Amino acid sequence: MPRETHRPVEPSISGWQAAVSQAYFLLETEARRDGPFNGQLQAWPLGPISATRIACDPVLYRRKPAHLRDARDDAILISIPTASRVHFSQNARDVICDPGGFVIERSDAPYEYWHAEPDVQWVVKVPREAVQARIGSAERFLGLSVDARSGLAAYFLSSLATAIQHADAFDDTVRATSGTHLLDLLCLALQNDQRALSSEDGTIRRAHLDRAEGFINANLKDPALSPARVAEGCGISLRYLQRLFGETGLRVSDYIRDQRLARCHEDLLAGRPDRISTVAYRWGFADHAQFCRHYRTRFGRTPSEVRRDR
């Protein structure tokens, strides 16, 4: 796994656009001041996530519909300003975030993000399916500005800073483990945000679905987990549970399988020395051959191929 990299950036707005597009995904950039544009970018891969530190002049980023046509990377960005206020607009949500907080962005929808003063930011890129595997649907969290001056969100930011400080001394296994730990902390912080729980999506049906997804993700390792057990654990009928998931286009059993596959995929990409069968059993698959078949259908490659090519 590569260590921290200093990516050379051509001192121009076009050079900056090329650098950030390579680090995240296709974006358009626009300088907010006349004259030369200066920016620096450093990147650290940490298992399932990547972290970058960017320092640059005032800039506007646009993610346009044209950028999404051939996009394959379904990711969430956590943007953490440290020096100046940032503005973000996506999906009819307009937010302002001051240093001491962070903004949650999605890669699969257009957005605008800008700051009018020079800024130093941390940006954490997280696979969306890794978030869903922990807390279910991430829709209610996207486009929010999170206050990270205290509580779990502050713990996430301080842990990120500590991990980056020591990352170059970590071997691949420790780097992957630290990235997974940061991902877990981030998801705990998001779940703790009461605005998401009481947002416009927070209807009774949404609350029941969130609780069911949470129960599933907390019990993925149990091979006996079934739709009936989920319904019983959430205090709702099996028919009602099936109807809730049917509205998302999935059966309950499909959701359980997909969440297990996502966690297995994450472990295989992390490069841990466990046997593939051990990874499958860890996340509740009782049949190794069935796991491999479902895995290839979901990811287009066998578990062995993914581990070899990571």
> What digits encode the pLDDT tens for the residues 206-243?
778 888 988 998 899 999 999 999 999 988 889 989 98
What domains are defined for the chain? 5-197 (2.60.120.10), 204-309 (1.10.10.60)
Question: Rounded to an integer, what distance in angstroms lies between the CA atom of residue 191 and that of residue 201?
Answer: 14
Alpha carbon distances (Å) from 95 to 23, 124, 168, 218: 24, 18, 35, 32
pLDDT interval class at 1 (50, 70, 90):
very low
Tell me what pLDDT residue 200 has: 45
Tokens of 226: 């079934």
Residue 46 has pLDDT above 60, yes or no: yes
Residue 2 has pLDDT above 70, yes or no: no
Looking at residue 119, its amino acid is D
The CB-based long-range contact list for 231-234 (8 Å cut-off, 24+ gap) reads: 234/208
From 207, 188, 91, select the one nearest 143 (Cα to Cα): 91
Backbone φ and ψ of 117, nearest 5° = -125, 160
Higher pLDDT, 198 or 309: 309
Which pTM was predicted?
0.74
What percent of the chain has pLDDT above 90? 58
Question: Rounded to an integer, what distance in angstroms lies between the CA atom of residue 180 and that of residue 256?
Answer: 20
Tell me what pLDDT residue 36 has: 87
Coil, strand or helix: which one is 70?
Answer: coil
What mean pLDDT, rounded, does the chain reach? 88
Alpha carbon distances (Å) from 58 to 34, 61, 115: 10, 10, 5
End-to-end, the C-alpha distance of the chain in Å comes to: 9
Tokens of 98: 């001051």
* Tens-place pLDDT, residues 293-310: 999 999 999 999 988 877
Higher pLDDT, 74 or 149: 149
User: What is the number of residues in the chain?
Assistant: 310
From 234, 221, 194, select the one nearest 279 (Cα to Cα): 221
